[in-house]
């Protein structure tokens, strides 16, 4: 059975992000601020997390409905024990584009095993090359060098092309835009600048802290001239730009200043099996209970179809001073 789903705004279901844990060893101010996610924060218990067999079963149902890309995320996905086993299970699904987003802190150690398990490529988050700025963004003392070594290990293992995600916060790491562009141009990895988003309710987001993608491009273009590129596919979230000297490409993800809900083909599954059809949703749909109360694949498949077909989400397009205060699921819980 293969049936491609589209929602009420005629958007296909193509892309699934799976959070494999809600835990993270970083406390990024834009994602898991330390005053909200300190020592006393209650993370999910082991039994609450979807088991690998459950994730594998759900992914097969999603693939039957047209999903061709799966990204493992978190929390920090490399904190999930024996993640390689899950990767091995998912990698056996033919034609699936399988990737992972990580903060890179365990990557130097794990890159080889991830590749052997069947992971194809990787995205690493890094917000600055400057130690003080990096620490100001993530509130831990993890050396930038450790992340760069992880990126090198990923390259050596063949987890390519490598993408680097940099969230830009005005007044905190905007001076890192050019040094990051220069460094990754030289290395040949695709650096993507992400506008700081109002996901969740704990990061105290304010529009003043957003550096618009157009401004980021202007800063880079003044020193390293750029030209636009075609998207790889409809619904690609990053706008692609290449250096005019032919030395590589960058991307900008302008979800605040140039929302792209109209092309959104993405579903998100939290570590405890709640399905969200929008990054800014306030509620999701519990698939774990369906799995654990004995529902058949056909029953779960029919529910998934009805959820996707009813979907009308377009938060970023209707963002306003009223919507930014609505309760929203945390990014660290559904993984970006």
Q: Which residues bind ligand SAM (CB under 6 A)?
A: 24, 30-31, 73-74, 76, 101-103, 125, 165, 167, 194, 196-197, 199, 203, 331-332, 335-336
Choose between 172 and 331: whose C-beta lies nearer to ligand SAM.
Answer: 331
Choose between 276 and 304: whose C-beta lies nearer to ligand SAM.
Answer: 276
Residues written for the chain? 336
Choose between 193 and 301: whose C-beta lies nearer to ligand SAM.
Answer: 193
Structure-block tokens of residue 215? 């401004």
Q: How far apart are CA 294 and CA 215, in angstroms?
A: 52
Q: Which of 181, 178, 182, 126 is nearest to 152 (CA)?
A: 126
Choose between 76 and 84: whose C-beta lies nearer to ligand SAM.
Answer: 76
Give me the least distance between CB of 335 and ligand SAM, in Å please. Answer: 5
Give me the least distance between CB of 182 and ligand SAM, in Å please. Answer: 20
Choose between 3 and 113: whose C-beta lies nearer to ligand SAM.
Answer: 113
Give me the least distance between CB of 93 and ligand SAM, in Å please. Answer: 22
Give me the least distance between CB of 72 and ligand SAM, in Å please. Answer: 9
The CB-based long-range contact list for 294-300 (8 Å cut-off, 24+ gap) reads: 297/57, 297/60, 297/61, 300/58, 300/61
Give me the least distance between CB of 159 and ligand SAM, in Å please. Answer: 14
Choose between 23 and 311: whose C-beta lies nearer to ligand SAM.
Answer: 23
Count other C-beta atoms under 10 Å from residue 143's C-beta.
Answer: 12
Is the separation of the CB atoms in 34 and 98 below 8 Å?
A: no
Is the separation of the CB atoms in 208 and 170 below 8 Å?
A: yes
Which residues touch 21 (CB under 8 Å, ≥6 apart)? Answer: 44, 49, 74, 75, 76, 77, 79, 80, 271
Give me the least distance between CB of 266 and ligand SAM, in Å please. Answer: 13
Backbone angles phi, psi at 301, to 5 degrees: -60, -40
Coil vs helix vs strand at 135: helix
Give me the least distance between CB of 81 and ligand SAM, in Å please. Answer: 16
Choose between 209 and 313: whose C-beta lies nearer to ligand SAM.
Answer: 209
Is the separation of the CB atoms in 190 and 150 below 8 Å?
A: no
């Amino acid at each position: 059975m293969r049936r491609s789903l589209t929602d009420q705004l005629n958007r296909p279901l193509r892309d699934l992000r799976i959070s494999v844990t809600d835990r993270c060893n970083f406390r990024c101010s834009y994602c898991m601020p330390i005053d909200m996610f300190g020592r006393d924060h209650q993370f999910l218990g082991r039994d609450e997390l979807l088991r690998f067999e459950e994730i594998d079963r759900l992914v097969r149902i999603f693939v039957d409905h047209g999903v061709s890309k799966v990204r493992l995320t978190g929390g920090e996905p490399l904190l999930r024990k024996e993640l390689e086993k899950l990767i091995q299970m998912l990698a056996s699904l033919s034609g699936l584009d399988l990737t992972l987003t990580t903060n890179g802190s365990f990557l130097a150690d794990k890159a080889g095993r991830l590749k052997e398990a069947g992971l194809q490529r990787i995205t690493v988050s890094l917000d600055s090359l400057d130690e003080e700025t990096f620490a100001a963004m993530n509130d831990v003392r993890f050396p930038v060098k450790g992340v760069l070594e992880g990126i090198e290990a990923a390259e050596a293992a063949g987890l390519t092309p490598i993408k680097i995600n940099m969230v830009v916060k005005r007044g905190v790491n905007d001076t890192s835009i050019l040094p990051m562009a220069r460094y990754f141009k030289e290395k040949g990895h695709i650096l993507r600048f992400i506008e700081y988003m109002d996901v969740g309710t704990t990061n105290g987001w304010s529009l003043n802290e957003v550096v618009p993608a157009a401004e980021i491009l202007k800063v880079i273009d003044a020193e390293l001239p750029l030209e636009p590129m075609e998207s790889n596919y409809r619904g690609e979230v990053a706008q692609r730009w290449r250096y005019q000297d032919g030395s590589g490409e960058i991307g900008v993800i302008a979800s605040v200043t140039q929302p792209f809900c109209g092309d959104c083909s993405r579903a998100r599954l939290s570590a405890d099996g709640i399905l969200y059809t929008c990054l800014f949703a306030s509620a999701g749909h519990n698939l774990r209970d369906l799995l654990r109360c004995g529902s058949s694949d056909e029953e779960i498949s029919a529910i998934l179809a009805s959820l996707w077909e009813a979907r009308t989400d377009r938060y970023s397009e209707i963002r306003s001073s009223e919507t930014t205060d609505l309760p929203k699921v945390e990014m660290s819980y559904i993984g970006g």
